[in-house]
Structure 1
Amino acid sequence: MGTLHDEAFDELKCYLEQTVFSKTKTVTPLVHLKDEYVGYLVSLGDALRKATILQSMTDEPEYEDIPSDVPSAIDSEMHTLHAAAGILRKHMADIEHVGNMYAPVEETDIQHCAEFVPNTLYDFIQWCTSEKSHTNVTSCGDEGVMKNNLRTIAICHNIISQSRRVYATITLGLALQVHHELGSKHLIDMLHELGHCVSYDEVRRFLTSVAVDQTAPEDIYIPKVLQNLRCIDEYPIVDAAIDNFDQNEATLDGKSTTHAMAAVLFYRGKIQHDNGEGQGIPRLPRKSLSVGERALPWSEDLQRYNKPAKRPEPPPVNDVSLIDVDKDSSELKAAESKDLA
């Protein structure tokens, strides 16, 4: 095995001398070397560790010793960074993304979020943010190395969203969480400007798409995710919770109150569909729906409420006899003499 590793190292040395340390040739990815020696059990991480040792043994000239007609070391570093960015952009361009569909709920866990990120991008962010990973040249392709750092995955999703101009699972999920917890349009748009989540318009578009997808013209409404459920347990149970959410239950004049009720259906357990995969949600271009546009899961039609321009008031009293009272009357004097305490 040592002979095979030495052979791979010699090949890598010649490759680096012709590419990385060459002043005339551009840098190309080392994936070809990995594919060539995969039968020798030489991983990409092992090859990069050998390359790090080789680079540390190479004498780099000082900046002042470089002639004026030779590109400076800084230009060489920029050339290397530009080539690395081209490699990452190429791998991000190969990501399959369906722009007219939202991912199903089954693909929102950390495992699917990690699979969405190319290994090269994940390794690069890990080397930039983790001193241990950079020193050991740890790669997610190595045996025993898991691609489960949520912070690194989130940064990768942000970079992919900015590079591809698409929404990723984490960028969409963060905006939905902020909308659910705080409901602040300004905060979502501010996070969107920083590149951490999608815009507020995309949140509205997602909520509208989910509402249309889950709405069915039936008297008894059951979510589609439960309609297509394949029972994993022997006796699965679907629970229902019903409660009212009143707002302004009591006011001075009995107006501006809200008395509403909502029902929630939920299944305790893992959801698995007949085809083994969840169905995505079609992405609609609209951000809202009008009343009566679609058939709702109840028979009565919704009527739009038209707020009156003027609040109703008691009718004025026009009978003067009810206002003018004879102050000298015996009934008035008797009432004034009574102790009302």
Structure 2
Amino acid sequence: MEKCIVCLKDDHPTTLIKLRQKGCLGIIKASQERGDCLSALEDAKPENKRGRPALQEDGFYKIVDFLKHHDDEQISISDLVEKMDEMCDWNAYSQMYLKKRLKQHFGDEIIITDIPGRKSVVTLRETVTCILQDYYQRPSNLNPDDEKRALIRAAAKLIKSDIRSVDTTKSIYPTPANIASVDNNLSYLPESLLLFLSNIFSEKDPSVKIASIGQAVMQASRPRALITPLQLGLGVQVHHNFASRFLVSTLNSLGFCSSYYEVQKFESSAAAVQGVDLPGDISNSFVQFVADNVDHNTRTIDGLNTFHGMGIIAGITPGTKRTQPIPRIAFSTDEIKALAKIEIKYYKPQSDRMAELSYAELKNLNTLDKTFRLDLLSVIIWPLKYPIPMWSGFMQMVQTGDYPGKSSVSFLPMIDLNASDMTCIYSTLNFVANQAKRYDITAILTFDQPLYWKALSIVENENPGSTLKSMVLRLGPFHTEMSFLGSIGNLMSNTGLKEMLELIYAPNAVTHILSGKAVARAFRGHMLVDTALYCLLIADIFNIDVSKLLEEPNSTLETTEMKEIDELYSQLSSGELSASEAGESDVLKNLEATVQEKNRKF
């Protein structure tokens, strides 16, 4: 018996693999010459040793061969044991021992993912050494095109090997922070794939495209093992905005987003996890609840039985976000209903105290606000200085202060009752009161006018010790604004206002503006009319020719008072004067008195 020269001196990977497969890991009887040694290897057979029966060994090598040719990377250890049972007449290894043997046999070429409470998943990957060895062993007489194909195949194998090496888990979904962060999405890609894509794109900053296409490649390479952040995010966003299964499925078939099934599973998991909780830490935020009727035209044959209910949201300022990850769990519709359910409390009137209500006199807020004259400055400056921002832009330019941050909206469960029903409103009030008590905040609830009046009557008729007594009810300002704009249209009918607005908007739009329905257009239109009237008024006071204003914007500053107003505006715009200082300036007070006197003459 002599030591095998191949085992001791030749580190050829292919030969070593053959040695392992033949069971020759130590000493074999062979010639010192390489050719004789290799031929002896072909005839060598593994020796029968004590321990596991030979039938199990044969079954193990069949499992090894099955793994090499099995393309399903999600096969588990338990699946392999069942497969080995079939091959060995139900005499397979245990899961623990099979896992040990697989690690010994494949070494770095196998990845076994152990997740507590779940099956161990087996994934084979080719090592860099094997891939490069196969590439360098290619025939040397290849033409340039074949050389290029061989190089591309080797690069693809290297990238796929790195993709298979990525640690993954499908037990939780990617967090919103990971989906929104470009850096996190780039770090999700293996280094080889990131390098490959970075050398393809020629844009100045292709980071988002690299992350998107890279994750699409990873998802296509491991469809049953990965849930890539951008793929999931796009699927959820498309479904939220368009509610189209066809669109989500089409994008999924093209490899751009997750499947429709996965999107629905995410939404049900997110709904179940949230329940009636408010997201994040709201201890330093202002929370206001808003409730209003919600209607959904359910498709029915006769057009009846449509959905009319009460929808509730919570506005949080500054906004908060949910930080805890969403587990990937299958929830049924009944389970979600049970998790997010509002208790229905039947309302029984106890008394009628609404007849005793008295309305307090509104205070004049002008004495408290030192900046109210800035409204006048924003319109009288137009004929003196052109062009300048409109009222909204002017106020954003001159007002300063701490910005609390963008608000966030959290959707709460709906009540499947008619929103105007007293029982529905009473249940809403109790739900909001309990939520406020739970988070130790003041219960502030906003209704529109019809629901506000009914909610107010419920609160006023409650007993003094009721939790609803401490609730702050607010009338939604939108309907008040609509009513105010509609009153302007009614009072100013047949005065030429309609014809003036038709110079800006279409006639049909003006009809909605004057009725108060088109709020945004009405606000802008009335502000333009107000500015134009003040321009004519100031032009009359200072004898300014408005027709020459566009040709010579700064040619009107002739009197001392006009120059002082222009200087006041410049100092306010540059920050030399604060809003309160500008509002209390003598020149603005004098001009206010002049304008009021002129208005009385008209």
**How does the TM-score come out when normalised to structure 2?**
0.31
Partner of 2:286: 237
Partner of 2:185: 113
Partner of 1:155: 213
Correspondence 1:173-322 to 2 at 5 A = 173-215=233-275, 221-223=276-278, 225-226=279-280, 229=281, 235-247=284-296, 255-269=304-318, 271=320, 278-286=323-331, 288-290=332-334, 294-300=338-344
Give the Cα separation in 2 of the matches to 1:168 and 1:247: 34
Q: CA deviation at 1:247?
A: 4.1
Secondary structure (helix, strand or coil) at the match of 1:26 reads helix
Q: Deviations over 1:128-155 (max 9, x none)?
A: 232x78xxxxxxxxxxxx8x62112110
Query: Aligned match of 2:171 in 82, 86, 100?
Result: 100
Q: Deviations over 1:223-262 (max 9, x none)?
A: 3x33xx276xxx43234333322246xxxx9954432222
Q: CA deviation at 1:304?
A: 11
Give the Cα separation in 2 of the matches to 1:230 and 1:70: 71
Partner of 1:138: none
Give the Cα separation in 2 of the matches to 1:259 and 1:185: 25
Judged with a 3 Å threshold, the aligned counterparts in structure 2 of structure 1 residues 116 and 268 are, in CA distance, closer, same or farther, namely: farther
Q: Deviations over 1:14-54 (max 9, x none)?
A: xxxxxxxxx98737xxxxxxxxxxxxxxxxxxxxxxxxxxx
Q: Deviations over 1:50-106 (max 9, x none)?
A: xxxxxxxxxxxxxxxxxx981111221112111211221122223222211112222
Partner of 1:26: 135
Contact 2:272 2:340 in 1 (8 A): no
Give the Cα separation in 2 of the matches to 1:176 and 1:272: 17
Judged with a 3 Å threshold, the aligned counterparts in structure 2 of structure 1 residues 292 and 154 are, in CA distance, closer, same or farther, namely: closer
Structure 2 counterpart of 1:222, which letter? D
- What are structure 1's unaligned runs of at least 5 residues? 1-22, 28-67, 134-145, 216-220, 306-341
Partner of 1:91: 162
Partner of 1:125: 197
Give the Cα separation in 2 of the matches to 1:159 and 1:208: 27
- What are structure 2's unaligned runs of at least 5 residues? 1-131, 346-413, 418-602
Contact 1:245 1:259 in 2 (8 A): yes
C-alpha RMSD over aligned residues: 3.7
Q: CA deviation at 1:290?
A: 2.6
Structure 2 counterpart of 1:243, which letter? D
Give the Cα separation in 2 of the matches to 1:264 and 1:304: 15
Contact 2:197 2:214 in 1 (8 A): yes
Judged with a 3 Å threshold, the aligned counterparts in structure 2 of structure 1 residues 255 and 164 are, in CA distance, closer, same or farther, namely: closer
Aligned length: 210
Secondary structure (helix, strand or coil) at the match of 1:129 reads coil
Contact 2:271 2:336 in 1 (8 A): no
Residue identity (%)? 23
Give the Cα separation in 2 of the matches to 1:290 and 1:85: 46
